[in-house]
Amino acid sequence: MVARKYKKVVVIGAGISGVSAAAHLIKNGLDTVLFERSSAAGGVWHFDERSALEPQYPNAKPSFGDYVVRPAQSYSTPPPELEDQEDFETAHAPPGPSYWGLKNNISTRAMKTSIQEWPEGTKDYVKRQVLEEYIQAISNDHGVAAITQYNTRVEEVRKQGNEWVVRTTTLQKSDAGFHLWERRWVFDAVVVASGHYNMPHVPAWPGIGDWKAARPKDVWHSKRYRKPDELRGKNVLVIGAGVSSNDIIKESVAIANKIYQSARGGALDIPVSLLPEKASRVAGVVSFNLDHDKLATAKETDPIPGTITLTDGQVLSDIHTVVIATGYVTSYPFLPHLHNDDLPAAEADEYVLVTKEGEQVHNLHKDIFYIKDPSLAFVGVPYHVATFSVFDFQAQIVARVFSGKAEVPPEEELRTEYKARVEKKSLGRSFHSLKEDNGEINYVKDLVEWANRDALKLGIDDPMVGHTEQWHQAFNESKEALRWMLSPKDKRIGTPPASLQALLDAFTGVSEK
């Protein structure tokens, strides 16, 4: 058995997935470069006071991403439509979704990576800056910061022969002003670690575009939420019943006038019992209806003139602000040739990564290696997992494959396994979820067995270590606390787990009643 070795590898993104990938690549002796479009490592945990840019209403096609990919050319000055420096900077590197009160909802003990301990005394549930500092500690302690090109956005990634050609633009600032510096790079392999939370998802509700055009500052996606002050004294509709929706409501309910949470009743909706008492859950949205006659005379401080019709027939009015907390679109704008914005997921061929729904990444082996060309790898695709830990295991297998310590099986074998997974899980947003019983544990176990099986064949004395006993204990405690918290109160059996209140404090800010 002879495994292929690569020499030069690029990593895209400096969140936990990218920093972990780069750290393990460096550890395995690979010449690595990491591109990060912002000025700091941290990914979704990096807080930026500036609000994220708003998307098109409703969504543009998935391949558009959250920034405009420009043709291959250099700008000595900003493009004419972006002459304001702050607009130019936010267009180059759109701020992420981190908000002031963001915390983890999986125990830090279960999120620990294989290469970095948490600072002594770290609690199970912590504020966002603790998580950002942990990622930056990995970057600093394992040589990643030294090979990171900050303020550098990847514009395009294409395979030419046996090489990957990467085009980047770097934002440079000086006393004379600021401009973009364009460069062309060549690598043997690529790791995409740009994350889930870039392109906001805005459903095509009838009338949503009219509402956004009429009151652009009062209709926005949750990605731009930072602090609750902007909702003070207002009647607010938050659409969606996930974590960010609940956090926004939890943080602002004390100062808002009235808050509604619209939910479709999906399996992943957070139970209504976890909503603060002053907030009301209502049905899903059918349409937005703008009163053009009243719009002409309405003040900016008045409610948006119009109504919102819900699936149960209820009609909401006197709404000042609409917050769209409906998640994100899967998008890799720097890989346009692997997008097909007109192809339904059910018709995905063996080459496409993202189809028109933007709900999943197609054609990946174990959510990591592009089946048609495993020199293109992804870290950070699975969700409903202890992210830092799972992404660290993914990073380890990528580093082993790219350094010749493990081998990707033949394409036919990968295709057979992938088809079986599609048959079992079906296509769509849940395809990458590892929420099912032991899903995460079995996934990591498969990666570890793969790595160690190939190490044995190659005569390499470097076993990959799987989940530890300490991890299992922490994971089970988190899982039990989460299960208890999300269960209807009349369905709970036994006594509350000891870790429940710490999770409630992080998740809802309320005590168990």
Write down the pLDDT at residue 85: 66
Backbone φ and ψ for 310, nearest 5 degrees, come out as -105, 165
Which helix (H) or strand (E) element contains residue 445? helix 439-458
The answer to whether 175 and 55 are in contact (CB under 8 A) is: no
Nearest to 103 by CA among 75, 128, 135: 128
- The residues near 493 (Cβ < 8 Å, ≥ 6 apart) are none
Quote the tokens at residue 232.
């003070």
Cis peptide before 271 (omega within 30 of 0): no
Write down the pLDDT at residue 215: 97
Nearest to 390 by CA among 17, 6, 14: 17
Write down the pLDDT at residue 352: 98
Quote the tokens at residue 402.
């790219």
Write down the pLDDT at residue 273: 85
- Compute the half-sphere exposure of residue 433: CA atoms within 13 Å on the CB side of its CA: 15
Write down the pLDDT at residue 513: 36
Task: For 350-418, give the secondary structure using H, E and C.
Answer: CCCCECCCCCCCCCEECCCEECCCCCEEECCCCECCCHHHHHHHHHHHHHHHHCCCCCCCCHHHHHHHH
Query: pTM value?
Result: 0.94
Nearest to 378 by CA among 392, 393, 394: 394
List alpha helices for 148-233, DSSP H.
Answer: 208-214
Task: For 83-122, give the secondary structure using H, E and C.
Answer: CCHHHHHHHHCCCCCCCCCCECCCCHHHHCCCCCCCCCCC
Cα–Cα distance measured from residue 12 to residue 191, given in angstroms and rounded to the nearest whole number: 6
Cα–Cα distance measured from residue 209 to residue 479, given in angstroms and rounded to the nearest whole number: 40
Residue that has been written with the tokens 């008492």 in this structure:
277
pLDDT digits (tens), the chain, 513 positions:
556 899 999 999 999 999 999 999 999 999 999 999 999 999 999 999 998 889 999 998 999 998 878 777 655 455 555 556 667 889 899 999 999 999 998 999 999 999 999 999 999 999 999 999 999 999 999 999 999 999 999 999 999 999 999 999 999 887 767 888 999 999 999 999 999 999 999 999 999 999 999 999 999 999 999 999 999 999 999 999 999 999 999 999 999 999 999 999 988 888 898 899 899 999 999 999 999 999 999 999 999 999 999 999 999 999 999 999 999 999 999 999 999 999 999 999 999 999 999 999 999 999 999 999 999 999 999 999 999 999 999 999 999 999 999 999 999 999 999 999 999 999 998 999 999 889 999 999 999 999 999 999 999 999 999 999 999 999 988 888 877 777 766 666 666 677 667 777 766 654 343
Calculate the alpha carbon distances from 354 to 69, 225, 363 in Å. 17, 27, 9
Q: Which is it for the CA torsion 192, 97, 512, 470, positive or negative?
A: positive
Cα–Cα distance measured from residue 132 to residue 43, given in angstroms and rounded to the nearest whole number: 8
Quote the tokens at residue 174.
């000086």
User: Domain limits of the chain?
Assistant: 8-199+329-458, 202-326, 469-508
